[in-house]
């Protein structure tokens, strides 16, 4: 079974990043492109290297033996790949903090483990500290996410059952996915609706059951000028907002403070060891619970009650799972 392109690229990235010395083509082929002919390997490897470089990954060519330059290998210098120091405002730091706390994507974690296991089994000296600079970005809990993501990478048409708000039953949709995008705390798949002959946006949380493959890879081309976020904003109906009241620990909750309608400092909070502020803000209903949970113990939701109950249920579920 062929390895999906996205997984192959991630494996190659990890392989070239964690090993301490350049690795030769023959070793790369045996570990990541097993079963491919020499011609197929050359084409895939060159294409994959070019794609990593187009994403800003510095794939370096260096001699396998410092004393001889006739045989070369490949690696990614961690120092060249790492981001420079970034100065953030408190609001920006809050966004980064949320992103770093909520990432739990099992598929990418499995791919990383598989790549490191292959290198270790082959006797290659790996530097696992280098993986600290490849941390993923966001959580994706929707069951349909993986199938849609891989379909986008492989240009595979998909079919799925989709339940619209207020509908009695789901309907089957056929889509040529152009991309997966996150907007207002929700994940969407954007693409060409084959049945309706037009671009469409589908919220992944409304997909019912498994996403099915409906074509071979490379079945279509994505328009060169497509703007996924613009399409999502245009086609997704405006989200409902509601008034929320929160207790926010001093120095925290910048995402809520930035948009606050009112901040009352120095109120009584859930503990006597911290200074708490009462913050009133309007928030999208769908993202309110997620944002409160992401702040951990620094934010307590007081109202609305239905969202407060969702927060309570989520925390109780965590206790059950652990």
Cα distance between residue 288 and residue 311, in whole Å: 9
The pTM of this model reads: 0.44
Average pLDDT over residues 309-319: 83
Cα distance between residue 218 and residue 58, in whole Å: 27
pLDDT per position as a tens digit, 15-71? 888 777 888 888 888 888 888 888 988 988 888 888 888 767 788 888 887 776 678
Higher pLDDT, 163 or 123: 163
The pLDDT score that the predictor gives to residue 302 is: 95
Q: What is the DSSP string of 163-220?
A: --TT-SS-EEEEEEEEEEEEETTEEEEEEEETTTTEEEEEEGGGEEEEEEE-S-TT--
Cα distance between residue 315 and residue 208, in whole Å: 25
Contact indicator for 44, 36 with CB cutoff of 8 Å: yes
Among residues 178, 145, 130, 148, the alpha carbon closest in space to that of 13 is found at: 130
Contact indicator for 17, 131 with CB cutoff of 8 Å: yes
Cα distance between residue 187 and residue 236, in whole Å: 12
34-38: Cβ within 8 A, 24+ apart: none
> How is the chain split into domains, by residue range?
5-89+106-128, 145-235, 241-321
- Please check the confidence at residue 287 and state whether its pLDDT lies above 80: no
The pLDDT score that the predictor gives to residue 184 is: 63
Indicate the length of the chain as a whole number: 322
CATH class of 241-321: alpha beta
Higher pLDDT, 13 or 172: 172
pLDDT per position as a tens digit, 90-112? 444 444 443 444 344 444 444 44
| CA dist 195 → 108, 184, 216 (Å) | 32, 27, 18
CATH number at 145-235: 2.30.30.520
What share of the chain has pLDDT > 70, as a percent? Answer: 74
- Please check the confidence at residue 130 and state whether its pLDDT lies above 50: no
- Please check the confidence at residue 137 and state whether its pLDDT lies above 60: no
Average pLDDT over residues 2-16: 74
């Amino acid at each position: 079974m062929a390895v999906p392109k996205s997984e192959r690229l991630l494996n190659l990235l990890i392989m070239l990043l964690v090993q301490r010395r350049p690795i030769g083509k023959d070793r790369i082929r045996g570990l990541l492109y097993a079963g491919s002919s020499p011609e197929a390997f050359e084409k895939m490897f060159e294409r994959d290297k070019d794609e990593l470089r187009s994403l800003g990954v510095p794939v370096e060519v260096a001699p396998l033996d410092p004393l001889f330059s006739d045989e070369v290998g490949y690696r990614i210098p961690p120092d060249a790949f790492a981001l420079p120091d970034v100065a953030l405002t408190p609001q920006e730091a809050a966004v980064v903090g949320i992103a770093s706390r909520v990432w739990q994507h099992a598929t990418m974690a499995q791919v990383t483990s598989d790549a490191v296991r292959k290198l270790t089994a082959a006797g290659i000296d790996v530097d696992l500290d280098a993986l600290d600079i490849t941390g993923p970005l966001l959580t994706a809990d929707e069951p349909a996410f993986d199938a849609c993501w891989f379909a986008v990478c492989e240009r595979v048409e998909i079919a799925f059952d989709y339940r619209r708000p207020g509908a009695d039953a789901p309907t089957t949709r056929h889509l040529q996915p152009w991309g997966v995008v996150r907007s207002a705390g929700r994940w969407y798949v954007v693409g060409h609706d084959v049945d309706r002959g037009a671009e469409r946006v589908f919220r992944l949380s409304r997909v019912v059951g498994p996403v099915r493959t409906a074509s071979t890879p490379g079945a279509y081309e994505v328009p060169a000028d497509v703007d996924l976020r613009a399409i999502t904003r245009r086609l997704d109906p405006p989200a409902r907002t509601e008034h929320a009241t929160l207790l926010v620990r001093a120095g925290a909750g910048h995402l809520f403070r930035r948009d606050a309608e009112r901040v009352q400092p120095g109120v009584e909070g859930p503990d006597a060891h911290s200074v708490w502020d009462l913050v009133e803000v309007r928030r999208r209903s769908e993202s309110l619970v997620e944002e409160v949970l992401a702040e951990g113990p620094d934010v307590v939701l007081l109202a609305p009650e239905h969202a407060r109950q969702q927060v309570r249920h989520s925390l109780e579920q965590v206790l059950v799972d652990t």
